[in-house]
Amino acid sequence: MKNITNKLNSLLFGISIFSPLRQRIFISMVFISIIVTIIGNIINILLGFPLFIIAITFVVTVIFIIIFYRLRKSSKVFLDFYYYVFWVIVFVATAYLWFLNAGIDSNFTILFVMGYIGLFLTTKPENRFAVLIFSSLFIAILILMDFYFPELIVRYENKAQRITDLVIGIIVYLSVIHYFLNTVWQQSNFEQSKLKIKNIQLDNLSKERKELNERLELSVKEMEYANSAKDRFISIISHDLRSPFQGLLGVSRLLNENYNDLNDDEKKQLIQKLNNLLENQYSFLEELLLWGRLQRSSVNLKVDNINLKEILLSEISHFSQAIDQKKLNVKLLDTTDVEIKTDRNLISTVFRNILSNAIKFSPIGQKIEVFVNCEGNNCLVNIKDYGVGISEEDLPYLFRLDTKVSRKGTDGETGTGFGLVLCSDIMMKLKGKISIESKEGSGTTVTILIPQVNS
């Protein structure tokens, strides 16, 4: 039976599309109608109206109570059904009582206004113009009936009865309208509060989703960088580390196959070259192992008071052969004996790599200048060359392992491009900073910020 009723309701009235606010207004309107009919019946009794008028008003009140009860208990699919039933009863009862309750002389005009407000608010917005037309015609017909067929109207027996009914009706209707408007206002504020809370929740959810997306994008970028760095690292292992061994094998093969044909000076030169190649490869392997330990955070700092001038002079002397070969003028300018607390081996590795690059990319006869300036707990070391410089396009990628930025030196020297990456990671470990300023064809300045390291 219930399924048949649901289908009939859907067929006749369609599934309810009542908004929550309209639904509350409609239920409030039914409740107010119950109050109005009860009060109206009490007034009719006090004014001595006929019993059948009181009975009709009572029946209408009972029907409204049933509708109110069903509205609160039934499925939302019945809202439209009860909506039409309620307003049909309101119009029929109003028309009937118009004739039996003094017509235009009674307080029905106020009731019409209140009824229209309720009908307007509970009607779907697209149907409100039709409601206005229908209500206006309904009221006009009743008023015309009062003028043209006055004999159909049951009038007041005396003027006091009319005034009493009018005054009591006005007070009741104004009170009901005030209650109704206050209810609508409270419901509206309640809906707005809920909407604000939902908007805040949506904003928070949107912010959380945005932050999550940003973290996800960052994770993706980090993963992409890690994959690129892994590929670059494999390239270093497979190519840049493998290629120098070809030179080592060539020199050793030459010594092995032609040893007896070589004079002592030739043998000495080849052995020296072999030794240099092995030292370079060993140094590179040491740096590669150091970088790997830095990535695993397994490098323990050995903090000591070190003399920066002493370390720089030591590293410059380490490249004395290359400096002499290129006839370079390497100067340590305006540098006093300054000490700073940091890791000697790590900072030496940084100086060694930067000096190596400065020498590699300096033309024959050029100069390299080294400055040291200490203020407070920080020291700045600037290593400036006047060599080939670095292009603007390559500058952002110098400290990235995922992109190879490596060129041959001015004397054909080769490199892996790995040294600057190692220097950057070392300075991060020392809580310092390394930066490069360069312009292609105008040389390069590397600035190393070395803070005091607490042991």
pLDDT in tens, 371-393: 888 887 888 899 999 988 888 88
Please indicate, yes or no, if residue 209 is contained in any of the structural domains.
no
Q: Are both 12 and 133 inside the same structural domain?
A: yes
Q: How far apart are CA 351 and CA 370, in angstroms?
A: 10
**pLDDT > 60? residue 3:** no
Q: What pLDDT band is residue 12 in, cutting at 50, 70 and 90?
A: very low
Question: For all residues of the chain together, what is the average pLDDT?
Answer: 77
Q: Are both 52 and 194 inside the same structural domain?
A: yes
- Number of folded domains that form the chain: 3
Q: Are both 319 and 255 inside the same structural domain?
A: no
H/E segment holding residue 342? strand 339-343
Please indicate, yes or no, if residue 225 is contained in any of the structural domains.
no
Is residue 363 within 8 Å of residue 387, measured between CB atoms? Answer: yes
Q: Are both 287 and 363 inside the same structural domain?
A: no
Q: For 419, what's the count of Cα atoms within 13 Å in the CB-facing half-sphere?
A: 21
Query: Of residues 423 and 95, which shows the higher confidence score?
Result: 423
Q: How far apart are CA 219 and CA 217, in angstroms?
A: 5
Q: Are both 295 and 308 inside the same structural domain?
A: no
Q: Is 184 in a helix, a strand, or coil?
A: helix
pLDDT digits (tens, 9 = 90+) for 403-440: 666 677 777 666 666 788 888 888 998 889 999 998 88
**pLDDT > 80? residue 296:** no
Query: Of residues 221 and 345, which shows the higher confidence score?
Result: 345
Secondary-structure breakdown of the chain: helix, strand, coil percentages, each rounded to the nearest 5: 70, 10, 20
Q: Which residue has the tokens 């005091």?
A: 452
Is residue 338 within 8 Å of residue 308, measured between CB atoms? Answer: yes
Which range among 152-166, 231-245, 285-299, 434-448 has the greatest average pLDDT?
434-448
Planar angle of CA 188, 190, 196, nearest 5 degrees: 100
Last residue of a domain, which of 254, 282, 299?
299
Q: Are both 312 and 295 inside the same structural domain?
A: no
**pLDDT > 70? residue 328:** yes
**pLDDT > 80? residue 81:** no
Q: How far apart are CA 329 and CA 331, in angstroms?
A: 6
**pLDDT > 80? residue 402:** no
From 2-6, 215-219, 446-450, the region with the lowest mean pLDDT: 2-6
Q: How far apart are CA 142 and CA 100, in angstroms?
A: 12
Last residue of a domain, which of 181, 204, 227?
204
Q: Are both 184 and 263 inside the same structural domain?
A: no
From 153-162, 246-255, 261-270, the region with the lowest mean pLDDT: 153-162
Last residue of a domain, which of 275, 299, 323?
299
User: Model-level pTM?
Assistant: 0.51
Q: Are both 283 and 306 inside the same structural domain?
A: no
β 303-307/367-375 pair status: unpaired
Please indicate, yes or no, if residue 224 is contained in any of the structural domains.
no
Please indicate, yes or no, if residue 227 is contained in any of the structural domains.
no
DSSP state of 301: P
Model pLDDT, residue 42: 82
The parent domain of residue 253 ranges over 241-299
Is residue 328 within 8 Å of residue 366, measured between CB atoms? Answer: yes
Please indicate, yes or no, if residue 226 is contained in any of the structural domains.
no
Q: What pLDDT band is residue 368 in, cutting at 50, 70 and 90?
A: very high
Query: Of residues 119 and 258, which shows the higher confidence score?
Result: 258
Please indicate, yes or no, if residue 382 is contained in any of the structural domains.
yes
Which range among 5-9, 130-134, 164-168 has the greatest average pLDDT?
130-134
> How distant, in Å, are the alpha carbons of 130, 165, 191, 235, 432 from that of 202?
38, 54, 16, 48, 42
Q: Are both 117 and 132 inside the same structural domain?
A: yes
Q: What pLDDT band is residue 291 in, cutting at 50, 70 and 90?
A: confident
Please indicate, yes or no, if residue 221 is contained in any of the structural domains.
no
Model pLDDT, residue 15: 41
Q: Are both 313 and 267 inside the same structural domain?
A: no
Q: Are both 291 and 322 inside the same structural domain?
A: no
Model pLDDT, residue 382: 92
Which range among 29-43, 193-207, 435-449 has the greatest average pLDDT?
435-449
**Token pair of 426 as six digits:** 């070392």
Task: For the chain, give the percent of residues with pLDDT over 90.
Answer: 6
Please indicate, yes or no, if residue 191 is contained in any of the structural domains.
yes
Q: Are both 24 and 155 inside the same structural domain?
A: yes
